[in-house]
Amino acid sequence: MLQIPFIRTHKDLIIERLEKRHIDATSMINQVIALDEQRRQQQTELDSLLAESNALSKDIGILYKSGDAEKANSLKVRSTELKTLSKTLTDNLSQTATELNELLYKIPNVPNELVPAGNSEAENEEIFAEGTIPELHEQALPHWELAKKYDIIDFELGNKITGAGFPVYKGKGAKLQRALIAYFLDKNTEAGYKEYQLPLLVNEASGFGTGQLPDKEGQMYHVTEDDLYLIPTAEVPATNIFRDVILNETDLPISITGYTPCFRREAGSYGAHVRGLNRLHQFDKVEILRIERPEDSYQALDGMVNHVKGILQELKLPYRILRLCGGDLGFTSAMTYDFEVFSTAQNRWLEISSVSNFETFQANRLKLRIRNNEGKNELAHTLNGSSLALPRVLAGILENYQTPEGIVIPEVLVPYTGFSIID
């Protein structure tokens, strides 16, 4: 959530930057400023009434003690009026504050100056590519056919048990999935990320804290009886560890990693591009998260990008990095880099990681602050990234490593799987 002082001071900049998202925010920003002026005026009036009421109470007490009950009773009439006025003004102030917060929740984060303008993923900017796209044999298959051929993933069984988008991993497929999780966690902890095991259900406050609510409410599974939400990513519980927390500057940076299943309704997703592992309702993901001082966050973002690059280099998968344009940028992000692996059998790029800097947007919602060396509090910067999302990484491995003899396991994963080929 944007800070009101920032909006008041940088009104024109915010409107200009939000145009990168193809959003005309002029009306919303003007309304925020107007509501804030109204709130300030109401608060000033209320403070004045309360001050007068307190002074009257003292005067009434003195008058009663001095025996001047008639004058004291006269002042009590005004005191009653002040209490009625204060109650009305308090209610109005509460309503104004609610309207202001509801409006602030609707305004997305301001894109960084380096974010390109654009309206869709077609306008994202490729900034790096590495790896050789393999030439597959004539009988090469997409991963959903390979899964059936080698009996390692059963989509139909998952459909029977739950529904579409809930696959069942079997045999070497399950072991490869487990190997990837362990490998990703080991790489992250070796890089200094502290491992956490996190809840898979969160409350409404946690959803608001990281920006999933109210923006993505329709994409989350909601347990209505308990008013809890299944997590769409480990980012939500991991970041909410620090909700309503004041950190000392010496505590930073904080680096966290965790593995969780993730749950997304993916409403409105249809067509060949969502086939197999391309888009699921339940999937596994290993996440990395950082809490940083504002002046260090973009250097930290570069470090996270390089960390994910190192993993893909070890897996020897062809990949590219995109800087997302404003129209494709997530609601809470100031800058996002997407990693995509090339699926040779499908002849298309598959997104396997997003690494984002949210600057103070989440921290303002979370009330996550840093106490600096001078004893002053300021909002922290939060960052997170996939390291990595498993379904499309697995799809890339199955398709790009297939041979006539079977699916070769990337060398770096063999110590985790205990086998070198699926045949």
Contact 346, 158 (CB under 8 A): no
Mean pLDDT calculated for residue range 59-76: 82
Q: What element of type H or E holds 175?
A: helix 171-190
- pLDDT score recorded for residue 384: 97
Q: Is the pLDDT of residue 179 over 60?
A: yes
Q: Is the pLDDT of residue 94 over 90?
A: yes
Mean pLDDT calculated for residue range 342-364: 95
pLDDT tier at 283, thresholds 50, 70, 90: very high
- pLDDT score recorded for residue 64: 81
- pLDDT score recorded for residue 67: 83
Domains and their CATH numbers in the chain: 4-106 (1.10.287.40), 121-422 (3.30.930.10)
- pLDDT score recorded for residue 304: 98
CB count within 10 Å of CB 114 equals 11
Q: Is the pLDDT of residue 60 over 70?
A: yes
Percent of the chain's residues with pLDDT above 90 = 87
Dihedral angle of Cα 145, 339, 388, 234, to the nearest 10 degrees: -120
Mean pLDDT calculated for residue range 202-226: 92
Structure tokens at 383: 């960052």
- pLDDT score recorded for residue 68: 81
pLDDT tier at 201, thresholds 50, 70, 90: very high
Contact 291, 242 (CB under 8 A): yes
- pLDDT score recorded for residue 268: 56
DSSP tag of 272: G
Residues with Cβ within 8 Å of 384's Cβ and at least 6 positions away in sequence, in order, are: 233, 235, 238, 239, 287, 288, 289, 290, 355, 356, 358
pLDDT in tens, 324-340: 999 999 999 999 999 99
pLDDT tier at 246, thresholds 50, 70, 90: very high
Q: How many Å is the maximal CA-CA distance in the chain?
A: 107
pLDDT in tens, 3-12: 999 999 999 9
- pLDDT score recorded for residue 214: 86
Mean pLDDT calculated for residue range 255-271: 85
Instruction: Report the alpha-carbon distance of residue 222 to residue 217 in Å, rounded.
Output: 9
pLDDT averaged over every residue in the chain: 95
**Omega before residue 199 within 30° of 0, cis:** no
Listed residue (314, 410, 399, 421) closest to 134, CA to CA? 399
Mean pLDDT calculated for residue range 362-379: 94
Percent of the chain's residues with pLDDT above 70 = 98
Structure tokens at 66: 């001095």
Q: Is the pLDDT of residue 158 over 80?
A: yes
Crossing angle of helices 297-315 and 171-190, in 10° steps, is: 140
Mean pLDDT calculated for residue range 372-379: 91
pLDDT in tens, 124-145: 999 999 999 999 998 999 999 9
- pLDDT score recorded for residue 267: 66
Listed residue (370, 327, 366) closest to 3, CA to CA? 366
pLDDT tier at 286, thresholds 50, 70, 90: very high
Q: Is the pLDDT of residue 146 over 90?
A: yes
- pLDDT score recorded for residue 272: 57
Q: Is the pLDDT of residue 386 over 80?
A: yes
